[in-house]
Structure 1
């Protein structure tokens, strides 16, 4: 039976198909436009089950249900956070209040590390989240911060002076000459407002991850294995000092574990 896994996030709708125990490539479309997904459904092989997480709200759920119904696919099953699943115990006093995408990512990270190591599951998209699971499978809490793009939008939208300067920089050539006699810039510091804003937001995200990982390592006396996922993760990973393992489909793998959809490990 083919199983369709999905992850409806704040910015993107992601999905992948499990066929014969193999997880296919993750695909993604903007949350506001599922056209690419509906086109894929029309040519997809027969789907026996649809399961995933949705943190994008009721409107997307309605659109997803309509697309699946039109394609003759099964009704979707929505994962919610519970007291325990797939060997991991939830730290929240009210388990259902933990975001389902975070729950799935945390579970997947623990399993990817062999179910015996302390892990941090880092999701970098519209929001930046970090969740910790210890070596015994206990979720030990998490953090939520704005993602780089949300930081940038907030800074440009709520300042009187930075936004116009950044807009002016964006219109000028990137090869603009610096003043004669000036000394070299010191990376990662920049010499233009727009690049300073962009680099500052990425540095803030990377610093948030590094600081949290270091605090966990000191508190538990063990260095966690860090798994990172999310549409905005690549430029942040390049700036993180902590060792980390990118995993684009981390949430989908967690969905499969919670829903007991078997997936073969890659060779």
Structure 2
């Protein structure tokens, strides 16, 4: 069976073939602005596949455009949703539907790696932090603006503050540098505080996994952080296997 996985986030569509052994093939990406994909995006999709699974946190109209494109290419399309229990992971939320499916799938992938407790950090439009213990229990998490969103918000309210640019420094001597240092520094502090709290709660230092477009900027300043750019797709593969989507 030819199977594909699609992860539609707030700024990019990522997709990859799923091999019979459960591993991912080459991951591809298409950008979008929240309302439409970049020009030529449909030509980058697989021409044909027997089945595919989709994870989406994007606007309904954008998801609808993708589903329409997939309907003519894929024999069967399934859409992932957050479950209270799946693949050894138990979600902390009383109403699992309120936990974003991207966070849910990232937790599945983190637990499946078998490294004990994990702190899963997503750096996209939002900064999300979730803790899963060695037994697969989700202990909850946090949501905050990402460094990029912080910059955009400051620029929107105070136009003379640049929306991008600058270099990180602990004590910056330039406005652009101070902005990137402050916004990234706030994210770093939240992650480190969460890691310390997780250590105190579990009695063990959690493995730190970073994913999302903004993760590389933080990874180098977080000791022991492991980049996991395809974590949501990995989790989508686990969900599809448990739900027997490609059986």
CA contact (8 A) 1:228 1:247 kept: yes
Give 1:102's aligned residue.
Answer: 103
Q: Distance in 1 between matches of 2:175 and 2:230?
A: 35
Is residue 209 of structure 2 the alignment partner of residue 208 of structure 1?
no
Distance 1:90 1:36, change over 3 A: farther
1:63 corresponding residue in structure 2: 65
Structure 1 residues 165 and 11, CA, compared in 2 at 3 Å: closer, same or farther? closer
| 2:49 aligned to which of 34, 47, 50 | 47
Q: Which runs of 5+ in 1 are unaligned?
A: 175-185, 262-267
In 2: Cα distance, 1:124 partner to 1:30 partner = 16
Question: Is residue 2:165 matched to residue 1:164?
Answer: no
TM-score with structure 1 setting the length: 0.83
Deviation digits for residues 81-126 of structure 1 (CA, Å, limit 9, x no counterpart):
1110011011110011110000000110011135xx1111111111
Measured in 1, the distance between the counterparts of 2:19 and 2:39 equals 23
Q: Deviations over 1:156-191 (max 9, x none)?
A: 1123xxx32548x97xxx9xxxxxxxxxxx942222
Secondary structure of the equivalent of 1:188? coil
**Residue in 1 aligned with 2:236?**
255
**Cα RMSD over matched residues?**
2.2
Q: 1:231 aligns with which of 186, 210, 213?
A: 213
What residue is the counterpart of 2:14 in the other structure? Answer: 14
Which is greater in Rg?
A: 1
SS of equivalent to 2:82:
coil
Q: Is the 8 A contact 2:7 2:55 kept in 1?
A: yes
Q: Partners of 2:191 and 2:220 in 1: how far apart? A: 12
Equivalences for 1:184-199 in 2 at 5 Å? 187-199=169-181
Q: Deviations over 1:197-222 (max 9, x none)?
A: 11211111111111101111012111
Structure 1 runs, 4 residues or longer, greater than 6 Å off: none
Cross-structure match for 2:147? 148
Distance 1:221 1:246 in 2: 24
Contact 2:169–2:178 (CA under 8 A) maintained in structure 1: no
How many residue pairs get aligned? The number is: 238
Q: Secondary structure at the match of 1:226?
A: strand
- Which structure 2 segments of 5+ residues have no match? 243-247
1:33 equivalent in alignment to 2:37: yes
Match of 1:119 in 2: 118
